[in-house]
Amino acid sequence: MKRKIMDYRAFCENAPSDFPIFFQHWYLDAVCDTGQWHAAIVHKKEEIAGVLPYFLKKRFFGQYVSMPLLGRFMGPYLLPACRNTRTEVQLLKGLLAQIPDGLLAYTQDFHYTAANWLPFYWQGYRQTTRYSYRLDLSSLDAVWKGMTAEEWQQAVPGFNWRSLNLTPEVIQSATGAGISTVGLATNKD
């Protein structure tokens, strides 16, 4: 197991640009304080092609996989070159084979790069679909013009966004800063 963690740490150091920060070994070290994180690793032609970090906790008479308190994503990550149906299925099966048997539960929020969960389904796992939106903040005017009050209302039910009359100009004049001061994140993970 220690060898896998060492290999995972080395993979993180040279991971592609779309590798989530939530999968970084130093992030997992920080947020998995009430249990232990582990990683499944699959290879293709002697190189790591995919990883699956997971947070293993113990409870009463068994173990279970869950999300760490401050973790946003976990689950499988495949290199961009391996994200095609033919390759994905085999790699995901290989990752799943390394998950401990006899778990009481398995709960993970997959990163948006994980588009194929069929091997999990074939193993008896269930899934719930939730959506996340990524906003391109290179043009803040386009973001504001592209969102209606109803869309803001759906984001935070019960809040009357129209009453705020928030425009980029209002935010700029009130705070001296851009739109990011109201909580929108950048396009980088």
| Mean pLDDT computed over 78-82 | 92
Strand partners, 71: none
Which pLDDT value is given to residue 78? 93
**Torsion angle in degrees (nearest 10) through CA of 70, 8, 128, 184:** 50
* Category of 166 on φ-ψ map: left (φ > 0), alpha (ψ -120 to 50) or beta: beta
C-alpha triplet 30, 181, 131: angle, nearest 5°: 65
50 CB-contact burial (10 Å; exposed 0-12 / middle 13-18 / buried 19+): buried
Predicted TM-score (pTM) of the model is 0.69
Which pLDDT value is given to residue 117? 85
Alpha-carbon span 57 to 55, nearest angstrom: 7
